[in-house]
Structure 1
Amino acid sequence: MAQLPDAYVKRWDYDQLGSVAPKLNLKQIDKGTYHCMMTFELDQEIRQDDWQVRLEPAFQPYFHWAPHITPPSRHVMDQHCFRSPALIAHDGTRLLILIPDLDLIAKDADARWYLDLDAPNNQFVLGMSRTRVNDHVLFEKVEGAAYSPGTFCIGFYLMTLEDDQAALNPWRPVLQFLWGRWGHSRLRQGIHDRAPLEHYVKHAYDWAFRHWKDTVWQEFVWSGLKVGAPVFIADVSQSPNYPGVPNERESRSIWNQAWFSSLRSAQGIYRYGKKQDDPELVRKARLMKELALAAPQRRGFFPAVIATEMKRVMVEGQEVNRSGSWDHAFWGNSNRNPADPWGSIAKAPYHVLDMSWTALLMLRWHDEIEPDPRLMEYAVRYADALLALQDEKGYFPAWLDQDALVPLDILRESPETSLSVTFLLKLHDMRPDPKYLETAVRALEVVINEIVPSGRWEDFETYWSCCSYGREELPGRKVVRNNMFKQCNFSMFWTAEALFQMYKTTGEMRYLTLGQRVLDEMLMTQASWQPPYLHVDVLGGFGVMNCDGEWNDARQSLFAELILQYGVELDQPEYIERGVAALQASFAMMYCPENIKTKQQWERAHPFFNEKDYGFMMENYGHDGDVGEDGRGMGTFTIFDWGNGAAAEAYLRIKAHLGQTLKDRYGYDITH
């Protein structure tokens, strides 16, 4: 039997199940990879609250990575967050990686697998226990796990590397291993079983502009100009088939924000309208552009949301939400912010990230969709205001006080800066000016030096969305027990994109190399396999952060093209496959006959659904860390701009930009 190398593993041990010791099978697969399987033969049921295998590295790491955080010791990384599961540690030279043997995880075992990382005590743990969710979303062990009579196996792979390059990008060997062992074959098997993605695009637009049009499409006059857009959010109770009283989940509004971007969706609608020779869709897309331009600028800055007031009213004896008329609409900003979390849109501070994203989309419309000088001039006014916000280090602040337009202190130095870099590089490309390039370089360099090495991926979503854990005490500080920041993959995406665009602008290879490192860190939040205990297809879909529960989050439609761009530039087939998988996953949550498993789950959650609901699509799956065959985990709403409309736009954009390259060079025809 093989032995784990002393240079990497100081000691390791494991528990019995009751009085039963496992049969150990440890073998070396290649120079640096080992496989360990422990087999229990049980002749009676064993009840045991917790079982563990514990491993102590033979060196003192300064870097750690895990898929979730476990702040107190009662918390664990439940298998619900096993998207690309691994425990990683290195000391700058030696790299140690533990990967659960995913082939051994059963569909419905009573005891769930978990990982844990205790950095201060230098310990990796793979274990089994029952768990429950507390906070949003942390997992803690609970009593009551049982093991039935028969044969039971648990195991892991251990990778050991002594390579400076591996330490610079510790995620590359993990991703390569996971995709090579599980993701590649699953993707190839499913390619020919999937319906053409065009079918899903049609469902999305039929849902928004035919079956649910009275709820979704909003068209009105603002300052004498006709504007329009799909509504921000539509609740399941607004289905034409719903048997009860409809209820609005949030105030009727339209957003041009980092998640919910009407102007992004408009570009997909325009492309589809042109392809289908549908002047009505093109008209709607242009109204969405007009709404973006209608946002009033103050000294170059502008709001992200137009909204109506919502009130509680009695309808048929039931108290429900009803929004007011667009005649009394007002401009404001995202209420996902630190000044007043989930509070007033009207009083929310300006978000620099949202403005840079919308201004970037204005430039992309002008460049790719149809020229409109107003878009360029609007973006230039914003860019010149943005330059004045850059601090001495190079950062752009996250938020501006609504009245004084001065930066708020929270997240003044964050990777949200990276999106402004991409905007300035696009502006420099379209209207060359050294001030835009020089400012972008300064901003990206500080992110490279201060954010990337430590993994400080803190952005608005990390603390001021639905996951508030650590909001008060964690910004700028690591979770000590895991030696990791609470992280969100959104800022990884913005940074990987900025690095890619800086490489394309300057030709400097170091930006591409660093970009690949950040991209790989982001890909650790992508599903590299299909867990048997999930009830929809998730391969290629993304989670959000290391303290949340989502699978198949809508951001995968935003991430897919960037993954493919890196794949083409590096001629890396794994990235091509991961990008294709992300694009396919963008439609996985759609209610439609093409998604057989998803359709079943939707109908179990909402039995009144029928063909008039085809195209309805929740933004993610398992958001609260809990799923079930009964439809748990399916959600209750659709956000067109962060769901079906966003997925449709991604497909149409990727088809326009990379469709022929993917077909000719890599054999992926995304239209079939």
Structure 2
Amino acid sequence: MKNKYLTIVLLSLLCFSCKSTNDLDKFIKAIDVGKIGTHTPGLEVEAISNNLYKITTTLNLKEKVGQRGWSIDIHPNFQAEFQWSPHLTPGENYIISDHVFRAPALILASEFKSITVIPDLDSRKKSKYRWFMDLDAPGNKLSIGISDYVVKEHVLFQKVNTTEFANGEIELSFYIMLSKDKKDIQNPWRKPLEFMWEKWGKPLADNGEPLNRPLETYVDHTYKWAFDSWKDAVWQEFELNSKKVGAPVFIVNITQSPNYSDLVSEREFRSIWNNAWFSSLRSAQGLYRYGRRIDNSEYIEKANLTKELALSFPQNNGLFPGLIATEMETVDIKGKKYNRSKGWDTYYFGNSTRNPYDRNPKKAPMHIVDMSWTAYHMLTWYDELEKDERLLQYAIDYAEGLLKLQDGKGYFPTWIMDNGEPSEILPQSPGVSVSVTFLLKLYSLTSEDKYKDAALKAMNSVIEDIIPIGRWEDYETYWSCSRWGSEDLVGKKIERNNMFKQNTLSIYWTAEALLTCYEATGKNKYLELGQRTLDELLMTQQTWQPPFMHVKVFGGFGVMNADGEWNDSRQSLFAELIIRYGKLLNKEEYVQRGIAAVKASFSMMYCPENPESKVQWEARHPFFNEKDYGFMMENYGHGGYTNDQGEGIGVFTIYDWGNGAASEAYNKIIDHYGTDIFSVQ
């Protein structure tokens, strides 16, 4: 036995508070309880049911102790083949900090058994210490403990050399969930999700959290911000081929506030995107819906200008670029340098800079996901807003080009190079799911079987190759802000966790594509796999309100298993899909989760209706006032740290991946389900 541990062999030494422990004995060989200083915390096991146990460790420390963290290690009595954790820990020094405890769980499973460890979030709320978890796949071990952390890479966590334990009581508790049920092994996330929602999520949702007030107020703030108080910075209107077009700019920062006292410096090149994130066409549909509902012709006109811009993107064999931008220049004023646009007379078309080849939009390759996503939104506009035949024809022209790119197995490439050839990177990825959804939407409008056949062929390859091993690799996984692993991990698992670096966008795309396949075919296999994929996605939804988060975060989403965001703007994108599954499966949990995701999409907005967020914004940017109501960062705590003085609050707003996107989600859900959907608690 190691000196720093007390090893508890469950069959002989452990003292239990109630009921039989036979089931626990059949799954777990031993629990190692670490020492704090020279003291070993007491351990109590409560058998809540035959397959659920609560483990509590306590210690009344008489003196201060400084050491390199403390943990409890759980050793199953079977060799796991499947592992899952919410964050990557590629080396011994790495941990899963509680900064990423959104729906925290560790899962090990063999063909016949599974173990899930879930931190007791009630106990964590009361604790003054930072908790962590760890999953060691080669060692077949799960750990939970206490340690301060430092952020490494972008964003991974490591233990600090010394965590200070003060004298007084220390408590840590967690749940162990066991199963031999084949359904629980096939979908290892459903039972933990149900447990965490019932215990922590549902009480918050029933109370109207994270925002217990009408969401229309936030939508109104958004559009007044974009088209009134910040219009000079946000709204872009110009002529393109003798046609008037317009859209909100890709990004603005705090220097563009009407209250900012210094000169403006633009954060990035001035541009308008139709990208899987920054979809001006998607946001314009929300503006159109809202304008139609409140009879605001100005909003409808602006939405139509954005539609005209999307239709102006040139096609070549059906393919088209993902953004339009202006030339930029650096201006020197009194010794300070400012980034400025040269104006729309200098426009050019380009593609997303989030790629493995070139960060210059003029040289970046075409991205199939961006094109399929844009064409899909052309079809939703045509189907639900107005029968503009140009939208349908543009999408058909793209589909014909897309079908020529499908490989023998059914995949579409991720990028298309300048020479028209598919890229060698991610040639077969879950990004193909976006094209599945697009092609099936086109099939529903045209009844052309070739679109359906191509979509199902692609979907079946994702079912066979991607879903079973969790290979959720897309452009954001490696080529956005979290570029760790882009040089040597693409297509490879992290050995210590037996997991890929994973991103939630491709999980969402696949869950949506599977539901669309079910609707097109009526085959239950698509619905069952769709629910499993949705549940994997929901393991990144925030099911509680942590004390170390200083804005409302319940209901929001994280991004990936190697980054630090809370309340990321993708939650507005995910919301309706979750509701659709809930309505179809008659599952209230999903409907509540979807509604909470919509509400979380507005909880970061700077406005009087969000008093917690307002305090944080003003701590970071004291010049903010009512002219800035509607300003909203795309996420919170991105860098892995937060505090009550504004750390974790950002400096920019992306309309199409923030307030405009959130408003689109709300307006679309209202159109599809009516206002009563938001009265469901």
Instruction: Report the counterpart of residue 280 of structure 2 in structure 1.
Output: 262
Deviates more, 1:640-649 or 1:308-317: 308-317
Instruction: Report the counterpart of residue 463 of structure 2 in structure 1.
Output: 448
Matched, 1:31 2:47: no
- Choose from 594, 597, 603 the match for 2:609: 594
Q: In structure 2, how many angstroms separate the alpha carbons of the residues matched to 1:271 and 1:106?
A: 41
- Choose from 259, 268, 277 the match for 1:250: 268
What SS does the aligned partner of 2:40 have?
A: coil
Instruction: Report the counterpart of residue 153 of structure 1 in structure 2.
Output: 171
Structure 2 gap ranges (5+):
1-14
CA contact (8 A) 2:350 2:364 kept: yes
Instruction: Report the counterpart of residue 76 of structure 2 in structure 1.
Output: 57
Structure 1 gap ranges (5+):
none
For 1:365, give the aligned amino acid. W
Instruction: Report the counterpart of residue 637 of structure 2 in structure 1.
Output: 622
For 2:294, give the aligned amino acid. Q
Instruction: Report the counterpart of residue 274 of structure 1 in structure 2.
Output: 292
Deviates more, 1:192-201 or 1:448-457: 192-201
Instruction: Report the counterpart of residue 226 of structure 2 in structure 1.
Output: 208
What SS does the aligned partner of 1:420 have?
A: helix
CA contact (8 A) 2:578 2:593 kept: yes
Instruction: Report the counterpart of residue 11 of structure 2 in structure 1.
Output: none
Residues 344-382 of structure 1: per-residue CA shift (max 9 Å, x gap): 101110000000000000000001011100000000000
What SS does the aligned partner of 2:567 have?
A: coil
CA offset at residue 660 of structure 1? Answer: 5.7
CA offset at residue 190 of structure 1? Answer: 3.3
CA contact (8 A) 1:108 1:533 kept: no
Instruction: Report the counterpart of residue 538 of structure 1 in structure 2.
Output: 553
Deviates more, 1:235-244 or 1:255-264: 235-244
What SS does the aligned partner of 2:92 have?
A: coil
Instruction: Report the counterpart of residue 415 of structure 1 in structure 2.
Output: 430
Q: In structure 1, how many angstroms separate the alpha carbons of the residues matched to 2:40 and 2:463?
A: 49
Matched, 1:548 2:560: no
Q: What does residue range 626-665 of structure 1 map to in structure 2 within 5 Å?
A: 626-659=641-674, 662=677
Q: What does residue range 116-515 of structure 1 map to in structure 2 within 5 Å?
A: 116-191=134-209, 194-340=212-358, 343-402=359-418, 404-515=419-530
Deviates more, 1:182-191 or 1:480-489: 182-191
Matched, 1:99 2:118: yes
Q: In structure 1, how many angstroms separate the alpha carbons of the residues matched to 2:126 and 2:366?
A: 46
CA contact (8 A) 1:194 1:594 kept: no
CA contact (8 A) 1:46 1:148 kept: yes
CA offset at residue 192 of structure 1? Answer: 9.8
Matched, 1:17 2:29: no
Q: In structure 2, how many angstroms separate the alpha carbons of the residues matched to 1:655 and 1:316?
A: 51
* TM-score after normalising by structure 1: 0.97
Q: In structure 1, how many angstroms separate the alpha carbons of the residues matched to 2:209 and 2:158?
A: 37
Residues 446-485 of structure 1: per-residue CA shift (max 9 Å, x gap): 0000000000000000000000000011111000000000
Q: In structure 1, how many angstroms separate the alpha carbons of the residues matched to 2:155 and 2:581?
A: 31
CA offset at residue 635 of structure 1? Answer: 0.7
What SS does the aligned partner of 1:219 have?
A: strand
For 1:362, give the aligned amino acid. M
CA offset at residue 316 of structure 1? Answer: 3.9
Q: In structure 2, how many angstroms separate the alpha carbons of the residues matched to 1:141 and 1:440?
A: 46
Q: In structure 2, how many angstroms separate the alpha carbons of the residues matched to 1:452 and 1:322?
A: 45
Matched, 1:557 2:572: yes
**Change in CA separation of 1:322 and 1:206 when aligned onto 2, cut-off 3 Å:** same
What SS does the aligned partner of 1:501 have?
A: helix
What SS does the aligned partner of 2:499 have?
A: coil
CA offset at residue 383 of structure 1? Answer: 0.3
For 2:610, give the aligned amino acid. N
Q: In structure 1, how many angstroms separate the alpha carbons of the residues matched to 2:629 and 2:321?
A: 33
CA offset at residue 662 of structure 1? Answer: 3.1
CA contact (8 A) 2:352 2:361 kept: yes
CA offset at residue 194 of structure 1? Answer: 1.8
Aligned length: 662
CA offset at residue 108 of structure 1? Answer: 7.4
Deviates more, 1:318-327 or 1:16-25: 16-25
Q: In structure 1, how many angstroms separate the alpha carbons of the residues matched to 2:381 and 2:229?
A: 28
Q: In structure 1, how many angstroms separate the alpha carbons of the residues matched to 2:110 and 2:487?
A: 31
CA offset at residue 537 of structure 1? Answer: 0.7
Deviates more, 1:241-250 or 1:99-108: 99-108
Q: In structure 2, how many angstroms separate the alpha carbons of the residues matched to 1:174 and 1:527?
A: 13
Q: In structure 1, how many angstroms separate the alpha carbons of the residues matched to 2:42 and 2:364?
A: 60
CA contact (8 A) 1:359 1:379 kept: yes
Percentage identity across paired residues of the two chains: 52
What SS does the aligned partner of 1:115 have?
A: strand
For 2:480, give the aligned amino acid. S
For 1:595, give the aligned amino acid. N
Q: In structure 2, how many angstroms separate the alpha carbons of the residues matched to 1:255 and 1:107?
A: 45
What SS does the aligned partner of 2:208 have?
A: helix
CA contact (8 A) 1:24 1:36 kept: yes
CA offset at residue 191 of structure 1? Answer: 4.8
Q: In structure 2, how many angstroms separate the alpha carbons of the residues matched to 1:135 and 1:290?
A: 42
For 1:527, give the aligned amino acid. Q
CA offset at residue 189 of structure 1? Answer: 2.0
CA offset at residue 509 of structure 1? Answer: 0.9
Instruction: Report the counterpart of residue 7 of structure 2 in structure 1.
Output: none
Q: In structure 1, how many angstroms separate the alpha carbons of the residues matched to 2:159 and 2:464?
A: 38
* TM-score after normalising by structure 2: 0.96
Matched, 1:668 2:661: no
CA contact (8 A) 1:107 1:533 kept: no
Q: In structure 2, how many angstroms separate the alpha carbons of the residues matched to 1:660 and 1:616?
A: 25
Q: In structure 2, how many angstroms separate the alpha carbons of the residues matched to 1:662 and 1:230?
A: 29
Deviates more, 1:245-254 or 1:313-322: 313-322
Deviates more, 1:282-291 or 1:266-275: 266-275
CA offset at residue 7 of structure 1? Answer: 2.1
Q: In structure 2, how many angstroms separate the alpha carbons of the residues matched to 1:8 and 1:320?
A: 62
CA offset at residue 20 of structure 1? Answer: 2.3
Instruction: Report the counterpart of residue 90 of structure 1 in structure 2.
Output: 109
CA offset at residue 48 of structure 1? Answer: 2.1
Q: In structure 2, how many angstroms separate the alpha carbons of the residues matched to 1:525 and 1:317?
A: 46
CA offset at residue 23 of structure 1? Answer: 2.3
Residues 550-572 of structure 1: per-residue CA shift (max 9 Å, x gap): 00000000000000000000000
CA offset at residue 503 of structure 1? Answer: 0.5
**Change in CA separation of 1:211 and 1:134 when aligned onto 2, cut-off 3 Å:** same
For 2:189, give the aligned amino acid. W
Residues 149-197 of structure 1: per-residue CA shift (max 9 Å, x gap): 2222001100000011111100001100110110000121235962200
CA contact (8 A) 2:210 2:555 kept: no
Q: In structure 1, how many angstroms separate the alpha carbons of the residues matched to 2:606 and 2:334?
A: 29
CA contact (8 A) 1:21 1:40 kept: yes
Matched, 1:517 2:532: yes
CA contact (8 A) 2:210 2:603 kept: no
CA contact (8 A) 1:79 1:114 kept: yes
For 2:420, give the aligned amino acid. L
CA offset at residue 291 of structure 1? Answer: 0.3
Q: In structure 2, how many angstroms separate the alpha carbons of the residues matched to 1:230 and 1:157?
A: 47
Matched, 1:81 2:100: yes
CA offset at residue 6 of structure 1? Answer: 2.6
CA RMSD of aligned residues (A): 1.3
